[in-house]
Each structure stands twice: as C-alpha cells, then as structure tokens.
Amino acid sequence: MKEEQPGSKYKKAVKSLAVLVITLYLIMSFVVSAYRIPTGSMERTLRVGDMLLVNKFIYGFRSPDWFGIPFTEKGFDIPYLKTPLFKPIKQGDVVVFKHFDEQMNQWLYYVKRCVALPGQTVEVIDKELFVDGKKFSEFYDTVEVDSGTEDLRAKARFTDMNIYPKGALYPGISASLGNRDNFGPLTVPEGSYFMMGDNRDNSYDSRFWGFVTEDFIVGKPIMVYFSFDSEYPITKFWKAIRWDRIGYFIQ
C-alpha cells in the first residue's frame, strides 16, 4: 500500500480551499451577490436589516471592475467587460446599478425601480409620476442598500433641489427641467433608463443625476434570504431574526 507523502494532506486541503474561493468569487462576480438593507427609506416592504440576493446574470455578464481586499476600500479599479443584456429590462423592474457620487468621489451601488425605458417620456407633476402621459403605478419594493464590499447608499430627507447636469456619465439632464416634485417632460435616449425610488420624497435618483446607461446595470434583486432587527441586543439574537421576511420575493 502506497504511503501518503508528508504534507500531501495539507496540499490537498489548500488546493480544495483555493478551488472553493475561486468558485465563490466567480459566482459572486457573475451570477449572484448578497446585499443588506441599511436604511428605513422604504419600510413598506423592504426593511432595515433585510439581506437580498441579486441576480447578476439576467441583464448580461459584467466582469469585476475593482480588485482589492474584501470588506475594505483598499483596492483599485480595473478594466471590465459587459455583455449585451440576456433579458431586456422591463418598465417596473427593480434594478441594481452603479453611479459615481461626485460628493463622495467614488462609485456607489444603488437599487431603484426602472420607471421609463428608452424612447419613453417621463414627467413628474405635483409629485405624481407620468410616463408617456399615463400615471405610473405605485410600487413599494426598493431601497438603497449595502453589502460587505459594495455600498448602496441612501440619501434621505431631501429638500427641493434643481436638477444639475453631471457631464457625460449620465447626460441629458438640464437644470431647466424642474425639481423633485415637478420635473420634465423628458424623453429617455436609446440605451438609457430612468430610475426612481418608490418613496419619491425620500429618493436620490434620476431626477437629480440623470439617466443610467446599460454599461452601469449590475443586476436584479431576487429575494430576501435573511432579515435581522439590529434594535435587539445580542443576547436576544433569536428574537431579532425576522422569520416571516425570509424567502420574500421582490416584485
């Protein structure tokens, strides 16, 4: 019987661990990622502490555009590739996308609802949203969220603000178009989308920084896989788990 060489078990363990890490990295980069809800801006359906699974495959593959130490901001941007959309974005879809925040001088991830597709005209009249002249249905399924390595920030309690142009990244928004409560009309250009939060009084969205192009689309939230109420002390961890939230599918 052939004896196992000294250290071979260690090498096998290291190899297995490396394969597992690479597999998880590929899955999280191309297929699905996890995000956590940090704010209560959309408490009607998604709550603070909800943890979401996001399908990154449905709208096309996007290779990683950042390399660094997980759970930190230590890293750097790298070139990325984005394939065409496997499934077209539909009006009303909840979408995760990237946006460059000029105040923070960094890329942030957001979750918003797509309210207008390319070629459609969007207008806000006294806080009521109209698309192609028809009142848009009310939804309560989206908030700004964060994950371990990707922050999806919330900006709450906005006062009325003018819409300022942000340059070439999200082009087409003019200061003359109005403010948060009375905006437009504005036609969405080809290859772009108009995103808004369901809580329109409490949402930093396309009314402020313009269109989202296909290159910056990341994925579609699927479900709440876990939910935790941080108001409970650690000694009452079991009570802090919202069992009724687990498995909630996002529409």
Q: 148: pLDDT confidence band, cut at 50, 70 and 90?
A: very low
Cα–Cα nearest to 60, from 221, 190, 222, 218: 218
Report the alpha-carbon distance of residue 34 to residue 221 in Å, rounded: 9
For residue 242, being part of any structural domain is answered with yes
For residue 13, being part of any structural domain is answered with no
Q: What is the mean pLDDT of residues 16-42?
A: 64
Report the alpha-carbon distance of residue 218 to residue 51 in Å, rounded: 17
Q: What is the mean pLDDT of residues 100-116?
A: 80
Q: What are the phi and psi torsion angles at 203 (to 5°)?
A: -130, 130
pTM above 0.75, yes or no: no
- What total of structural domains would you count in the chain? 1
Report the alpha-carbon distance of residue 106 to residue 152 in Å, rounded: 12
Q: What pLDDT score does 119 carry?
A: 97
For residue 133, being part of any structural domain is answered with yes
For residue 108, being part of any structural domain is answered with yes
In terms of residue numbers, what domain contains 240?
Answer: 34-249
> Can you give the C-alpha Rg of the chain in angstroms?
21
| 116-130, 168-182, 215-229: the lowest-pLDDT one | 168-182
Q: What is the mean pLDDT of residues 58-81?
A: 73
Q: What pLDDT score does 127 carry?
A: 86
- Is the separation of the CB atoms in 111 and 143 below 8 Å? yes
**Which tokens is 230 given?**
């941080």
For residue 9, being part of any structural domain is answered with no
Q: What pLDDT score does 108 carry?
A: 77
Reply yes or no on whether the pLDDT at 141 is more than 50: no
- Is the separation of the CB atoms in 222 and 53 below 8 Å? yes
For residue 3, being part of any structural domain is answered with no
For residue 24, being part of any structural domain is answered with no
CATH of residue 88's domain is 2.10.109.10
For residue 140, being part of any structural domain is answered with yes
Identify the sign of the CA torsion 15, 68, 171, 159.
positive
